[in-house]
Amino acid sequence: MKDFLKKVLGKDEKFYELLEASADEAQKSAKSLSKLYSQVGKPDFEQRFTELVVARRNDKRIGLSITQELCQTFVTPLEREDIEALANALYKIPKTCEKIGERLAICPSQFSTDIVDKQVRMLEQATEVTARLVRKLRKLSNVEEIQDDYETLQTIEGDADRLMVGLLRDLYQGNVDAKEVVVLKDIYELLERAIDHCRDAGKVVFQIALKYA
């Protein structure tokens, strides 16, 4: 009986560890992206882009490990659907960051990094809050703290929405080359999407907290 309980509790820890590792890779992606966009057109760009690729691949391996554990585990610490939903939302963050890196790689030479600075900083903040939320899954007793973090993510997402509208307005109304308009619009929307994925992950954590309150 003792060995059985140890095995079950060990599986509990494994799921938490994997989800936390996934959130860490999402945060690493945002930090790598912050370094990458300032290197557009510079020698270190490829090295920084490789960091994004590695983070996305690491997160994909973590997702596969979560799937494997779900298949091999009869009793899970959280509902299977919630674990899958959170893992999927977290994986989309580094995946989207990598797509942003790909767009930065084909940016026009006159691209100004200042344009996306605010959005990237918002994404960094959002991934930080997301990682903090995921770590609170181990102890779901303080729903108010989890709700506060989730509301912070909602605020960041709302601010990012308004910022993107302003950026798009300036882009369409300004004297910008057509090729640059296409690339920048794509980058703006992908950055907004990455922040949306953070909010989605936070929503899953908040819903889990409400279930177990």
DSSP string spanning 25-63? HHHHHHHHHHHHHTTTTSTTHHHHHHHHHHHHHHHHHHH
Name which of 112, 135, 104, 103 is nearest 27 in CA terms: 135
Of 203 and 12, the one with more pLDDT: 203
Read off the pLDDT of residues 118-148 as tens digits, 9 standing for 90 and up: 899 999 999 999 999 999 998 887 899 999 9
Read off the pLDDT of residues 95-114 as tens digits, 9 standing for 90 and up: 999 999 998 888 765 556 56
pLDDT of residue 112: 60
User: Between vectors from CA 102 to CA 98 and to CA 105, what angle results, nearest 5°?
Assistant: 135
Mean pLDDT (the chain, rounded): 87
pLDDT of residue 2: 36
Which CATH topology does 2-212 take?
Methane Monooxygenase Hydroxylase; Chain G, domain 1 (1.20.58)
pLDDT(7) > 50? no
Name which of 111, 122, 107 is nearest 162 in CA terms: 122
- Length of the chain equals 213
pLDDT(32) > 80? yes
pTM for the predicted model, two decimal places: 0.88
Token code pair at residue 149: 């973090």
Report residue 4 CA to chain centroid gap: 35
pLDDT(155) > 90? yes
pLDDT of residue 110: 58
Counting Cα atoms < 13 Å in the Cβ hemisphere of 61 gives 8
Q: What value does the mean pLDDT take over residues 189-200?
A: 95
Residue-range domain boundaries for the chain: 2-212
Q: Amino acid letter at 37?
A: Y
Q: Amino acid letter at 24?
A: D
Of 77 and 199, the one with more pLDDT: 199
